[in-house]
Amino acid sequence: MHKVALIYSKERSDTSGIYFERAMAKLGIPYDHYCSTQMHSIPTGYDLYFRLEDGRLERMLPTHLSPSVYWITDVHLAGPYHHLKRQVGNYDLIISGLPLGVEKLKHFAKRIHFISFGCDPEIHQKYFLPKSYDLGFVGTDGGIPRKFILQELRERYPNSYIGKAPHTQMSKIYSQSKIGLSYPIRLEGVTMRFFEIAACGALICAPQLKAPWLEDMGFYHKKNIIVFNDLTHLIELIDYYLKHATARETIAQAGHEHVLAHHTYAHKMKEAFALIEKELGISNLI
């Protein structure tokens, strides 16, 4: 069995690396964990050096540690992108959690592929609690136009949870929400929150994206999610599905089942290691 050096910092208890590590452990992949601050003391001899983006973007993996993979998440943000475009060429394979990463970094990376985010059903779990919120949105207000749209929703639907929350409370908030709003800062991919909402059992309400990424992952309007085009359309959909509980819960359940069947981090790790075998020729990782 091959052994992996898994590299990311655990300083934040809500870092996405924890989800990936839990998936690796569940799949029985042998690994040793190293913090990003330890990169220059990681020994040679591993079959794979697998780095997860963790905010420590100023640190670079030594080039003698190979073969190497870097799973990136924040390429849509200007600051991380500035660092990533200088670093990705040092890795044998880049995996981007957003399609945008492939487009923006394809001229800098040796190999780059898109694998979507997912959910951890044991963390992003469905609690069987009363649906006490009309809308659920956990996050910052962001910039224009999102902050104005969120404020409009706060005023129209006061019986909602719209704002920040500790990550330990997020699953209960979405479990108690009739509709969970997924509204990325940029409409250039499906964020982690989308999958987390579905895992918690709320009806996912998401904006129309710039490409058919939702459909490519098996998500369809009025089948297992609802998709809005603008604020007027969003309000129409919210009003309709707040009044029609049976239709709402049917679609929400379909979304919940689809995510658990196809979009957990265990699924993503299997996909990643299949890609690693294809691109780098490293087999028997799982």
Output the DSSP codes for the chain. ---EEEE---SSTT-THHHHHHHHHHHT--EEEE-GGGGGGPPS--SEEEEE--S-TT----TTS-SEEEEE--TTSHHHHHHHHHHGGGSSEEEESSHHHHHHHTTT-SSEEE----B-TTTS--------EEEEEES---STTHHHHHHHHHHH--SSEEE---TTTHHHHHHTEEEEE---SSSSS--HHHHHHHHTTPEEEEE--SSTHHHHTT--BTTTBEEESSHHHHHHHHHHHHH-HHHHHHHHHHHHHHHHHH-BHHHHHHHHHHHHHHHH------
The pLDDT of residue 90 is: 96
CATH 3.40.50.2000 fits 133-262, yes or no: yes
Which part of the chain has CATH 3.40.50.2000? 4-118+264-280, 133-262
Per-residue pLDDT 10s for the chain (286 aa) are: 569 999 999 988 788 999 999 999 999 999 999 999 999 999 999 999 999 999 888 899 999 999 999 999 988 888 889 899 999 999 999 999 999 999 999 999 999 999 999 999 999 999 999 999 999 999 999 989 999 999 999 999 999 999 999 999 999 999 999 999 999 988 888 999 999 999 999 999 999 998 899 999 999 999 999 999 999 999 999 999 999 999 999 999 999 999 999 999 999 999 999 999 999 999 888 7
Is 175 in contact with 200 (CB distance < 8 Å)? Answer: yes
Q: What CATH number does domain 4-118+264-280 carry, 3.40.718.10, 2.70.98.10, 3.40.50.2000, 3.50.4.10? A: 3.40.50.2000
* pLDDT (0 to 100) of residue 79: 85
The confidence score (pLDDT) of residue 44 equals 96
pLDDT of residue 172: 98
Stated pTM of the model: 0.94
Confidence at residue 22, expressed as pLDDT on a 0 to 100 scale: 97
Q: Which two tokens stand for residue 3?
A: 């052994």
What gap in Å lies between CA 183 and CA 141, rounded to an integer? 10
Using the structure block, give the residue that is written with the tokens 């409370």. 169
pLDDT at 11: 84
